[in-house]
């Protein structure tokens, strides 16, 4: 196998399990959609937007994230947003994606649920046919809103179960514990949805316990605070419960002060099923390749570790068995070169 390098990391076959479609909105597309839809922005240009992408915590980011989402109004907008992300995946050899979308961000502005889902699902279908990128779409509930709103969103999703594969929980973690959403997750499970949730990013390790035990989720999004709790680490290792870790996001939001202090590889070596993901790549400085490159540059990521991280992503994905087998074959062929 060739020596590891930035180009090798770009060519590495990858799977993404934690990305918010609204968080892939690049400033250039934001301005294009704002112009198309006659939406005024609080920024004079692309450079001013990029300068605003300096965050001291999660809430700083969310404030500007929801501003950006205002430009998304029509099916074509959601298609263009999703398609731009998928083209980036093609550039970086990302073969399977399980993106999140936040319907409440849009329905609360009067955008119909069907407009959001139609635009996104059409782009995902085109990506499978034209780019060879498979996908499973996950609908997230906003945890800063009440559970009644989440239940209404779940009801709205009922006629779109052919397009939505799972449900998740995102937005402000502090002050919004998992148990706040126990009823809606129970109802989602009854509807046959796969269950995931953000936990242990800004919230404590106890939020991870409660997400597993109260919400009955199958996969933890972020989960980096698990390392604070040896008993929880043991549970994650023994049960191979996946963590969808987002390294660049964690540094950008000051969860870690610098990448050199990130614990993802430490957790990997302890046997946790950690995976690499981009979260909100437009805002956090990079997509999948940039996250792997940063681990290599700052933590000395090895070839073996990179391959194990991708294998973890295949294992942790909701892809059908046949697709997983195909992804393993592609990865094995790449590793043998």
Is 3 a catalytic site residue? no
Q: Which distant-in-sequence residues (6+ apart) come within 8 Å of 3 by Cβ?
A: none
Q: How far is CA 272 from the centre of its chain?
A: 19
Q: How far is CA 330 from the centre of its chain?
A: 23
Instruction: Pick out the residues of the known binding site for substrate.
Output: 280
Instruction: Pick out the residues of the known binding site.
Output: 18, 20, 198, 279-280
Query: Can you tell me whether residue 237 is helix, strand or coil?
Result: helix
Query: Can you tell me whether residue 201 is helix, strand or coil?
Result: coil
Instruction: Pick out the residues of the known binding site for Zn(2+).
Output: 18, 20, 198, 279
Torsion of CA 261, 262, 267, 273, to 10 degrees: -170
Catalytic residue chosen out of the listed positions 201, 218, 258, 269: 201
* Residues 215 and 182 sit within 8 Å (Cβ to Cβ): yes
What is the enclosing helix (H) or strand (E) of 168? strand 164-170
Whole-number Cα distances in Å, 205 to 176, 224, 229, 317: 14, 8, 7, 23
Long-range CB pairs of 60-64, under 8 A, 24+ apart, other chains included: 60/253, 61/252, 61/253, 61/280, 61/283, 62/171, 62/172, 64/283
What is the enclosing helix (H) or strand (E) of 281? helix 281-284
Q: Which residue in this structure is represented by tokens 């993901």?
A: 277
Whole-number Cα distances in Å, 287 to 91, 264, 281: 10, 17, 5
* Residues 246 and 291 sit within 8 Å (Cβ to Cβ): yes
Which residue numbers are catalytic?
201
């Amino acid at each position: 196998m060739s020596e590891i390098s930035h180009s090798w990391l770009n060519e590495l076959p990858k799977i993404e399990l934690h990305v918010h479609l609204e968080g892939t909105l690049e400033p250039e597309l934001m301005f294009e959609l704002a112009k198309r839809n006659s939406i005024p922005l609080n920024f004079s240009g692309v450079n001013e937007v990029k300068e605003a992408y300096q965050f001291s915590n999660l809430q700083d980011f969310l404030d500007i994230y929801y501003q950006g989402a205002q430009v998304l109004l029509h099916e074509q907008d959601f298609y263009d947003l999703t398609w731009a992300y998928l083209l980036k995946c093609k550039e970086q050899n990302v073969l399977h994606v399980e993106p999140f979308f936040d319907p409440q961000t849009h329905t609360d502005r009067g955008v119909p649920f069907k407009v959001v889902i139609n635009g996104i699902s059409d782009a995902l279908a085109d990506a499978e046919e034209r780019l060879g990128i498979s996908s499973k779409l996950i609908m997230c509930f906003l945890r800063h809103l009440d559970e009644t709103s989440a239940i209404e969103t779940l009801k709205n999703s009922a006629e779109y179960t052919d397009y939505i594969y799972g449900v998740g929980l995102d937005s402000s973690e502090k002050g919004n514990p998992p148990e706040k959403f126990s009823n809606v997750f129970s109802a989602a499970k009854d509807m046959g949805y796969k269950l995931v949730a953000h936990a242990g990013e800004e919230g404590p390790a106890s939020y991870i316990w409660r997400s597993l035990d109260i919400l009955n989720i199958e996969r933890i999004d972020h989960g980096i605070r698990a390392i604070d709790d040896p008993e929880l680490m043991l549970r994650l290792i023994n049960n191979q419960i996946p963590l969808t870790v987002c390294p660049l996001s964690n540094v950008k939001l000051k969860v870690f002060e610098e990448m050199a202090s990130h614990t993802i590889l430490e957790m990997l070596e302890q046997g946790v099923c950690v995976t690499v993901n981009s979260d909100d790549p437009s805002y956090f400085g990079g997509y999948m390749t940039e996250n792997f490159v940063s681990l290599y540059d700052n933590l000395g990521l090895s070839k073996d570790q990179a391959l194990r991280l991708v294998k973890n992503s295949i294992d942790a994905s909701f892809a059908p068995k046949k697709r997983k087998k195909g992804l393993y074959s592609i990865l094995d062929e790449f590793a043998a070169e």
